């Protein structure tokens, strides 16, 4: 029988906390590497889909001494437009710090963002507003925060850029997800995917092509790797060592991009002499 006090809400409340500077840096790096003519466009609604709420933190550069207002507005326009757009999305909450030039090392230094993230994650944990938290960052300064959350009984996932995140930070979390070309390309807009120069990939029980491979090798993490031709496309098929029934399939016209994607997404190294066979 239905009760007025019956709980019909979500079984698990999962919040995502995003270090916007980290996410932007990874998008910029992958854009330069894979598709400089078509900057990566994320569909932020798809990013938010698995989560009850998304908290997005970013640092907008401050106006420099002597800088004209029009110049400053144009320099920060794209970032402010993004923050305004995110603030209008359901379940998104945007909080701003500021970015100032470092006096000693050069470059930009974020202010307030780390404090905002720490205060919010600890507050939601202490109040038991969530069952699970995911933090998107690669900054090792967040390790004490993750340690504190774990000690309080919160399950913490870390969504991190693998090439710039220390083992110290990843080991602190309960779960880990790579912020790489594969995970980001799955969250892109339909328009970007139509223009994209990023290889496509599948992971599962893929059927091997009927043709003979034009190149084969054994990778240190995989039992067998083979390259096939399907028209103008290269297809890389690799069997996963820990589960011989599952395979990785990567497809693209450009063998160099297949090799880059394999390394970035799966730590799979394509031999340099593959171009001679291709």
Q: Are residues 21 and 110 in the same domain?
A: yes
Q: Are residues 207 and 85 in the same domain?
A: no
Q: Within a domain: residue 6? A: no
Q: Are residues 171 and 234 in the same domain?
A: no
Mean pLDDT of 126-139: 97
Give the 3-state secondary structure of the chain: CCCCCCCCCCCCCEEEEEEHHHHHHHHHHHHHHHCCCCCCCECHHHHHCCCCEEEEEEEEECCCCCCCHHHHHHHHHHHHHHHHHHHCCCCEEEEEEEEEECCCCCCEEEECHHHHHHHHHHHHHHCCCCCEEEEECCCHHHHHHHHHHHHCCCEEEEEECCCCCCHHHHHHCCEEEECCHHHHHCCECHHHHHHCCCCEEEEECCCCCCCCCCEEECCCCEEEEEEEEECCEEEEEEEECCEEEEEEEEEECCHHHHHHHHHHHHCCCCCCCHHHHC
Does pLDDT of 106 surpass 60? no
Does pLDDT of 132 surpass 60? yes
Mean pLDDT of 215-224: 84
Tens of pLDDT, residues 9-34: 557 899 999 999 999 999 999 999 99
Residue 249 lies in domain: 199-277
The residue with tokens 């774990």 is 150
Which of 157, 190, 223 is the C-terminal boundary of a domain?
Answer: 190
- For residue 76, the model assigns a pLDDT of 81
Q: Are residues 244 and 175 in the same domain?
A: no
Q: Are residues 48 and 113 in the same domain?
A: yes
Q: Within a domain: residue 230? A: yes
Lowest mean pLDDT among 58-62, 176-180, 238-242, 258-262: 238-242
- For residue 8, the model assigns a pLDDT of 60
Q: Within a domain: residue 40? A: yes
Q: Are residues 223 and 154 in the same domain?
A: no
- For residue 1, the model assigns a pLDDT of 43
Does pLDDT of 197 surpass 90? no
- For residue 104, the model assigns a pLDDT of 47
Which of 190, 221, 239 is the C-terminal boundary of a domain?
Answer: 190
Lowest mean pLDDT among 4-8, 230-234, 257-261: 4-8
CATH number for the domain spanning 63: value is 3.40.50.1010
Tens of pLDDT, residues 31-73: 999 999 989 999 999 999 999 999 999 988 777 888 888 888 8
Which of 143, 161, 190 is the C-terminal boundary of a domain?
Answer: 190
**Could you tell me which residues come within 8 angstroms of residue 163 by beta carbon, excluding any fewer than 6 positions away?**
none
Q: Within a domain: residue 2? A: no
Q: Are residues 175 and 264 in the same domain?
A: no
Mean pLDDT of 134-151: 97
Q: Are residues 127 and 242 in the same domain?
A: no
Q: Within a domain: residue 111? A: yes
Lowest mean pLDDT among 61-65, 140-144, 179-183: 61-65
Q: Quick one: what percent of the chain has pLDDT higher than 70?
A: 87
Q: Within a domain: residue 3? A: no
- For residue 108, the model assigns a pLDDT of 47
Q: Are residues 153 and 259 in the same domain?
A: no
Q: What is the number of domains present in the chain?
A: 2
Q: Are residues 28 and 59 in the same domain?
A: yes
Mean pLDDT of 158-165: 96
- For residue 207, the model assigns a pLDDT of 65
Q: Within a domain: residue 5? A: no
- For residue 73, the model assigns a pLDDT of 80
Q: Are residues 214 and 183 in the same domain?
A: no
Q: Within a domain: residue 259? A: yes
* pLDDT band of 109, cuts 50, 70, 90: low
Q: What is the mean pLDDT of the chain?
A: 88
Mean pLDDT of 244-259: 89
Q: Are residues 99 and 61 in the same domain?
A: yes
């Amino acid at each position: 029988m239905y009760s007025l006090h019956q709980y019909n809400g979500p079984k698990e409340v999962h919040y995502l906390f995003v270090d916007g500077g980290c996410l932007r840096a990874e998008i910029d790096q992958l854009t330069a590497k894979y598709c400089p003519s078509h900057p990566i466009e994320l569909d932020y609604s798809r990013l938010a889909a698995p989560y009850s709420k998304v908290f997005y933190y970013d640092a907008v550069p401050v106006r420099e001494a002597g800088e004209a207002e029009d110049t400053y507005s144009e320099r920060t326009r794209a970032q402010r437009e993004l923050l305004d757009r995110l603030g209008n999305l359901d379940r998104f909450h945007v909080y701003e710090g500021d970015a100032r030039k470092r006096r000693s090392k050069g470059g930009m230094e974020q202010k307030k963002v780390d404090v905002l993230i720490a205060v919010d994650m600890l507050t939601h944990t202490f109040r038991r507003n969530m069952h699970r938290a995911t933090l998107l960052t690669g900054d090792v300064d967040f390790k004490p925060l993750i340690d504190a959350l774990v000690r309080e009984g919160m399950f913490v996932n870390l969504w991190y850029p693998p090439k710039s995140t220390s083992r110290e930070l990843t080991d602190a979390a309960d779960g880990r997800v790579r912020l790489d070309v594969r995970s980001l390309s799955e969250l892109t807009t339909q328009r970007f995917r139509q223009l994209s120069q990023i290889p496509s990939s599948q992971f599962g029980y893929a059927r091997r092509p009927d043709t003979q491979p034009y190149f084969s090798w054994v990778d240190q993490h995989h039992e067998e790797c083979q390259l096939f031709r399907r028209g103008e496309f290269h297809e890389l098929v690799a069997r996963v060592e820990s589960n011989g029934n599952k395979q990785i399939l990567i497809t693209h016209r450009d063998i160099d991009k297949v090799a880059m994607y394999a390394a970035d997404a799966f730590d799979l190294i394509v031999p340099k002499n593959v171009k001679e066979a291709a």
